[in-house]
Amino acid sequence: MTKILIIEDEPFMRANLADVLELEGFQALTAANGREGVSVARREQPDLILCDVLMPQLDGHGVLATLRDEPQTARIPFVFLTAKGERGDVRAGMDLGADDYLIKPVPLDELLGAIRGRLDHARRHQAEFKMQFKSPKPLESLGLSQREAEILFWTAQGKTNAELGVILDISPATAKKHLENIYQKLAVEGRTAATLMALEVLNGQK
């Protein structure tokens, strides 16, 4: 069953969204604040996240930034659902990597349409990645060694340092060291930026 995480601090809104999604055949997970939402996302690996912006402890922008910076959650479709509709707030959310931004109150058909559209897009992207990206060789064009290209290739597919160790028969510490060298060579600050650069190359956009 498709899992959707609702991160919303208003109890009535949270419960109402969960009821609507379950009636539509989704499994609804809920979190009452941003920090709890991050914890649930890490544990449950939902297929999509609906998140309010204005919340205590950790706001929606903080939730998105945290999840985008972790390989296991970086590609989960993320939709902001909030009453705050100022243009600057919308732009800030999209710049952080949100997939969509819906203003409350949102009509049910619009909400479900956005959810299904983002889920379909994510499934197509995952299928295309598995089908097309069969070799790390193109990543050597970024100035990486063969081993570094392999590390980045699997990192871009969401593999953790421990998983890299199993795939490439190296220790997680060695994988981490390779990644640090890769970030330095690419002049980026972390996994998310390196992944985006890798995908551009593998998609033939560079």
**Tens of pLDDT along 168-188?**
888 888 999 999 999 999 998
Q: Which two tokens stand for residue 110?
A: 């619009």
Beta strands in the chain (DSSP E): 3-7, 27-31, 48-51, 78-82, 100-103
Q: Which two tokens stand for residue 22?
A: 């379950």
State pLDDT tens for residues 54-81: 888 899 999 999 998 887 888 899 999 8
Torsion of CA 176, 124, 196, 46, to 10 degrees: -50
Higher-pLDDT residue of 128, 200: 200
Do 28 and 21 contact (CB within 8 A), yes or no?
A: yes
Rounded-to-integer distance, Cα 205 and Cα 59, Å? 34
Q: Which two tokens stand for residue 41?
A: 């996302």
Rounded-to-integer distance, Cα 84 and Cα 72, Å? 29
Please give the helix or strand (H or E) that residue 138 lies within, else none.
none
Q: Which two tokens stand for residue 146?
A: 């063969």
Residue type, position 85, single letter: G
pTM score of the predicted model: 0.62
